[in-house]
Structure formats: structure tokens, C-alpha cells
Amino acid sequence: MTENAAERFYRESHERNTGGARIPMLPRETATAELQASAHRYRCVFEHLQGNPGKAVVELGFGSPRLLAALAGSCAAYTIVDILDRTSAADLPSNVAFQQADLCCDFPFADARFDCAVAMMIVEHLFDPFHSFRELARITAPGGKVFVNLPNIASIRCRLELLTGRMPVTSSRDWFEKREWDGNHLHYFTVADTIRLAAVSGLQLEAIHPVGKLPGLKRLRPSLLCHEISYQFCRV
């Protein structure tokens, strides 16, 4: 099959950031400890799946198998989707399946297929956020959960960078050296507009989970203090 422009773009990015090496999957116990040790962006997903075992889950924009053993461990089925295959089929747990797809197009699943949808660090990379949220809602069953991780362009860090005449960074600091404009982010989000976008797509906010250090402080005013947020929505 001929590689299209999007596949080539993300393949070259993956090769720059990993040297082309396959990222190993951590043992389940090690991955679990990492998820529980801090305000990890996936911690809210892990805790939900542990408390609600036996679900059908899809992760859109699957970037790394590092934590897969812990995340998929309590699920009936865990489907991972990406434009590139960043893992090896031989390493996948028995309940995990990979599907290749361009997520700028309609997601390749039937309506209400999954109990839970996960989109961590992916929507900011996709062409149309309205389409992304609409598709996340469509493939999730009513009452199901949707977890979305996004940077917050209104964080105090970004505001100070703009105030000093610098472009706010919502990805890694070395994005220019890697020749990946702000880590290949195409869109910027605030807390209020993310909630608004989700609502028109049929997703109701249930919780905001700060990521990184000082999560207790960040919860006081996430729209200002959180540079990165994991949102938990319910499909209404």
C-alpha cells in the first residue's frame, strides 16, 4: 500500500524521536506502579478501568505500548488505533488488537461500539477538533466514558511566554531543534472551550484531572494553573 503524506509525516517524526527503535512494553506490575505514583496523564484512565473491569475500550492515537499491560489488564477488549503501527503484534496482550487508521477521517468503528474511549495527546494533532469530538462520542455507548488529554494554552506558563514575546510551548521545549513546529500541534485549547466543544458533541464533563506536579494546587484553578489536563466525559 502506498504511504500517504500524513503517514510519511508521522513516520518521520516517530523515527526522529525514537531513532526508529521499538518502545518496549513494561511488565504489568511496573507499569501499574508508574501510573499510581504521580499525577500521570493516564492515571484517571487506569483507575476507571480498574474500578470497572470487563469493558470494551478503544485508545485513539496510540503512541506507545509502554503502559499497555496495565491499562488493558482489566479490560475485556482493548483496541489501539493509530496511523502508524508503533508496536509489534507479537508483544500485544491477548485482549489487545491494533487497527491502522487516519483519525482525521471518520473513525473505522460502528456507533456505540465501545464502553470507553481514550484520546490522550491526539486531538491537538488532528485536522478538525469538531470532527474528533463528534467521532469520539459516536463510537462510545450512551453512559460510557471518554478520556481526552489536552494542553491548556491559557495556562500561566503560556501567558508569561506570550507576555515576554515568545511563542507559548505546549509540547517539548526542543521542538524547533527537532523541526516539529510546537511538537506538531495543530490546534490550541482552553478549559472553557474544550468543555463547550465536548458538550455540542454529546459529551458531558465529569472531572478535570491535573497532570504533573502539585495536582492539589492545580485543582484550585485548573484554567490558569494546569498546563496539561486529562478530561473525563460521559457520553449522554
Summarised one tens digit per residue, pLDDT across range 17-74 is 777 667 788 999 999 999 998 899 999 999 999 999 999 999 999 878 899 999 999 9
Listed as ranges, residues in the chain with pLDDT below 70 are 1-2, 20-21, 88-90
pLDDT of residue 2: 67
pLDDT of residue 90: 64
pLDDT of residue 193: 98
pLDDT of residue 160: 97
What is the number of domains present in the chain? Answer: 1
Return the CATH number at 138: 3.40.50.150
pLDDT of residue 89: 60
The domain of 93 spans 5-235
Beta-strand pair 77-82/96-100: parallel
Cα torsion angle, 116, 122, 124, 125, sign: negative
pTM tops 0.85, yes or no: yes
pLDDT of residue 22: 73
pLDDT of residue 88: 66
